[in-house]
């Protein structure tokens, strides 16, 4: 449970990227208070226990990674009854917290009554949150992830109010509209106003790439709860720096890309090798596009995990050092 006066730093869910191996690695690297799973979509039927254990295997370990990072289960869907039923199954399977996704901008999701599409219907946000809140035990926190709106940043005030009225214990706000996707700019100011208006914690999310960004976001929003996504993968030192600034425990690491990438392989053991290679390439693609990882073009052609690291060793005679 988030506390208004207790800082926290969350790992954002990123579809196909922050799977269980990445969450486990992030728990090892330190800095994050908790992670949110990739969304499980609730469409025609209530989800079963097998689906939860497949997508969030940490539920078999007390809803924590093997490295100790708590993991919150995220659900996506627009039907209150099925969302509530799925949340209850998740809790019976081991979930200790439920998050509801009202922010996914993917067109396929939005066309099928999920994610950001509900931002156009504030009362439905309240209905879904309330149904989930009433279905699960009171000690299980229920939160909601929102964008500022469908195409207007002013929509957040009503939508956030509806989530709170539904019983959300806290909300996370991504500082863009659905229409923006992930295009700049971000608008942190509305997050600050929502934080002042609500009596629940508000987590700020969106384009916190550097410590300067973090300082500006904290100043503008007044928040002491934050969520990092792509920036934590572009620079794996970022979460540690933010955590220490918030007064949270975090080790001081060096940016040894080889060691970090090998760590992802280690936490992928028991999973298909092809999937591990895909995870490695997805990570370095983000690090190349948004950070200073220099060898994506050479590594993207690798056909196996062994070849990936052979090319990496060939491309650099020492661990790749990025910027802090």
Rounded-to-10 torsion of CA 18, 21, 22, 24: 120
- The catalytic residue among 104, 123, 217, 223 is 104
Euclidean distance between CA atoms 287 and 72, whole angstroms? 25
Euclidean distance between CA atoms 35 and 23, whole angstroms? 7
Secondary structure E strands in the chain = 8-11, 34-36, 40-41, 71-76, 98-102, 142-149, 170-177, 202-205, 225-228
Secondary structure E strands in 150-275 = 170-177, 202-205, 225-228
Bridge partner list, 177: 149
Euclidean distance between CA atoms 159 and 150, whole angstroms? 11
Q: Are 94 and 59 in contact (CB under 8 A)?
A: yes
Q: Which two tokens stand for residue 170?
A: 């806290």
What size, in residues, is the chain?
324
Catalytic residue check, 123? no
DSSP letter, residue 46: P
Burial class of residue 108 in the structure, from the number of CB atoms within 10 Å of its CB (0-12 exposed, 13-18 middle, 19+ buried): exposed
How many Cα atoms are found within 13 Å in the side-chain-facing hemisphere of 169?
17
Say if residue 185 is preceded by a cis peptide, omega within 30 of 0: yes
| SS3 at position 153 | helix
Euclidean distance between CA atoms 114 and 102, whole angstroms? 7
Euclidean distance between CA atoms 17 and 302, whole angstroms? 18
Positions marked catalytic:
104
């Amino acid at each position: 449970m988030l506390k208004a006066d207790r800082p926290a730093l969350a790992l954002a869910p990123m579809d196909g990227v922050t799977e269980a191996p990445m969450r486990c690695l992030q728990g090892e690297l330190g800095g994050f208070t908790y992670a949110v799973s990739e969304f499980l979509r609730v469409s025609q039927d209530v989800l079963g226990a097998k689906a939860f254990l497949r997508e969030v295997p940490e539920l078999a370990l007390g809803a924590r990674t093997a490295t100790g990072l708590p993991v919150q289960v995220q659900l996506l869907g627009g039907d209150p009854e099925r969302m509530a039923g799925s949340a209850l199954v998740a809790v019976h399977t081991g979930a200790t917290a439920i998050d509801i996704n009202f922010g996914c901008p993917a067109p396929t999701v939005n066309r099928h009554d999920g994610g950001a599409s509900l931002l156009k219907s504030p009362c439905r946000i309240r209905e879904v949150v309330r149904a989930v809140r009433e279905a699960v035990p009171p000690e299980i926190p229920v939160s909601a992830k929102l964008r500022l709106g469908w195409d207007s940043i002013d929509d957040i005030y009503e939508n956030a109010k509806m989530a709170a009225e539904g019983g959300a214990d806290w909300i996370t706000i991504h500082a863009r509209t659905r229409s923006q996707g992930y295009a700049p700019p971000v608008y942190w100011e509305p997050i600050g106003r929502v934080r002042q208006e609500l009596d629940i914690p508000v987590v700020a999310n969106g384009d916190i790439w550097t410590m300067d960004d973090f300082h500006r976001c904290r100043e503008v929003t007044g928040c002491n709860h934050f969520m990092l996504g792509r920036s934590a993968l572009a620079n794996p030192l970022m979460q540690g720096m933010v955590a220490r600034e918030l007064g949270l425990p975090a080790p001081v690491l060096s940016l040894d890309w080889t060691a970090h990438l090998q760590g992802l392989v280690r936490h992928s053991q028991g999973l298909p090798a092809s999937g591990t290679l895909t995870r490695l390439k997805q990570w370095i693609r983000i690090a190349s596009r948004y950070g200073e990882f220099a060898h994506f073009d050479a590594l993207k052609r690798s056909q196996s995990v062994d070849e990936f690291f052979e090319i990496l060793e060939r491309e650099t005679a020492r661990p790749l050092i990025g910027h802090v």
